Amino acid sequence: MTNSNGARATDGGVQSVDRAFQVLEVLARNGEVGVSAIAAEIGVHKSTVSRLLASLEEHEMVVQTYDRGKYRLSLGILRLAASVPERLEITEQGHAVCERLAAKLGETVNVAVLRSRYAIHLDQVRGPASVGTQNWIGEPTPVHATASGKILLAHLDVHQRHEVLGATVLERFTEDTITSVEALDEELDAARSLGYAVVVEEYEKGLNAIAAPVRDYDGRIAAALSVSGPVYRFTEARMRLVGPDVIAAAAEISERMGFRQSVTPSA
């Protein structure tokens, strides 16, 4: 709608939405930013920015950093990102494959994608033996301590990989978590060669997982297909044994996504 001068007639509500998006874009470009800097960049008073940030924080779109007064994007943005059309395509093409794999192995199967510095789970199928398994859909998980995260990192080039890891605190979740970039690099290189990555109680005690890459039509890594289960049943030896099954299932989803083996895979 325009007024008599041809300008858009923007009410206060729409203007607030516009400004909220501007705030998010500033944070996306610059990382951690203070109220004054945001106000200067979008050309509004600091009190307006403070109100916008309070609302965005309430909806988990932004969070204050340890350096009080500065803000950064929060996990709510990642949950929204997990709902883009790519999610629909991957889950639509892969869900039946996940169901078959879960039935065959008896464990929980997940599909995850790389978003920022997290692996975000888009789909989950529980196997007949996986009673009481956590629902991971929409959850951001650390790339350095999960099978999905590792296989997604493994297929980035070294510069991209270190860029992600440089923005990530390699938090120790258990005594088996790898917190050294050098040690992680070695494992990621091995995972790339093997075609799958494993974690043995690195994110949660008592939980093991294995993951293989899913490719899109041009051979790029679109997602990770993982299988997880309790350590007493889903041992490291069993994970290695079912590795070919996981790789085959990931390859089937890749074919459904349009990938053909004649295509030279991208990093």
Phi, psi dihedrals of residue 118, rounded to the nearest 5°: -130, 155
For residue 15, the tally of other CB atoms under 10 A from its CB is 12
Residue 2 lies in a domain: no
Each of the 267 residues of the chain gets a pLDDT tens digit; together they read 444 444 444 456 788 888 998 998 888 888 788 999 999 999 999 999 999 999 998 888 888 886 667 888 887 776 676 555 555 578 888 899 999 999 999 999 999 999 888 899 989 999 887 665 677 788 889 999 999 999 999 999 888 998 888 877 899 999 999 999 999 999 999 999 999 999 999 999 999 999 999 998 878 899 999 999 999 999 999 999 999 999 999 999 999 888 776 544 545
- Do 133 and 206 reside in the same domain of the chain? yes
Which pLDDT score, from 0 to 100, does residue 182 have? 93
Tell me how crowded residue 248 is: count the other CB atoms within 10 A of its CB.
Answer: 12
For 35-40, which contacts have Cβ atoms below 8 Å and span 24 or more sequence positions?
35/69, 35/71, 38/71
**Looking at the structure, do residues 46 and 112 belong to the same domain, yes or no?**
no
Q: Is residue 4 part of a domain?
A: no
Residue 149: inside a domain: yes
Range of the domain at 109: 81-256
In a domain, 30, yes or no: yes
- In contact, 242 and 248? CB cutoff 8 Å: no
Indicate whether 189 and 117 sit together in one domain. Answer: yes
| Same domain membership, residue 178 and residue 89 | yes
Last residue within a domain, chosen from 23, 43, 73: 73
Q: Are residues 200 and 234 in the same domain?
A: yes
Closest CA to 69 of 55, 58, 56, 53: 53
**Domain co-membership, 239 together with 173:** yes
The CATH number that applies at residue 30 is 1.10.10.10
187 in the same domain as 142: yes
Residues 139, 144, 150, 153, CA torsion sign? positive
Number of domains in the chain: 2
- DSSP string covering 250-262: HHHHHHHTT--TT
